[in-house]
Amino acid sequence: MICKFLILFHFLSVFGLNSAPKEHQIKAWVEIEGELDALSVKAKIENTGEKNVFLNYELETFSRSRIKKQKTLEKGKILALKRSVYALSESRLNVRTTEELCVKIKVLLDDQIVALDSVIFQGVK
């Protein structure tokens, strides 16, 4: 009886694994490099899956100091070909040591979030 149960369980688990849909394998990240007076901010995505997919992305940059607050939001669409890396946006910023900088990227597929990343740079206060 136990042997029949194990065989049935094994069959169902293998059958279930083979019929499960593959998720889209999308990675997103933000790179910040350089010195304070000339920071380079890059947002990149990578499609490691086996299908080409249309993606929407939102890139939000927020900087705050004692004097001012600045927020930018960039939205766009991209066709991510299989097994490829894309640079979505690149900008250069002049940041003071008293400023706080936050960069967030959100990648959407059919109004569902498939990748997120954020970087926070906080200067000396």
Angle at 30 between CA 109 and CA 74, to 5 degrees: 60
The residue segments making up the domain with residue 70 are 23-122
Number of domains, the chain: 1
Tell me, what's the pLDDT at 13? Answer: 45
Please give the model's pTM, rounded to 2 decimal places: 0.74
Tell me, what's the pLDDT at 23? Answer: 64
Among 90, 100, 95, 123, which Cα is nearest to 39's? Answer: 95
CATH number for the domain harbouring residue 97: 2.60.40.2420
Identify whether 3 is part of a domain.
no
Identify whether 29 is part of a domain.
yes
Identify whether 1 is part of a domain.
no
Tell me, what's the pLDDT at 112? Answer: 93
Strand ordering across the sheet containing 53-64: 69-80, 53-64, 100-109, 112-122
Identify whether 53 is part of a domain.
yes
Tell me, what's the pLDDT at 5? Answer: 43
Identify whether 8 is part of a domain.
no
Q: What is the mean pLDDT of each run of 10 residues along the chain (125 residues)?
A: 46 41 79 85 93 95 89 95 93 85 94 93 71
- Report the SS3 class of residue 72: strand
Identify whether 10 is part of a domain.
no
Instruction: Name 66's Cβ contacts closer than 8 Å, sequence gap at least 6.
Output: 98
Tell me, what's the pLDDT at 108? Answer: 96
Q: How far apart are CA 98 and CA 113, in angstroms?
A: 33
Identify whether 102 is part of a domain.
yes
Identify whether 82 is part of a domain.
yes
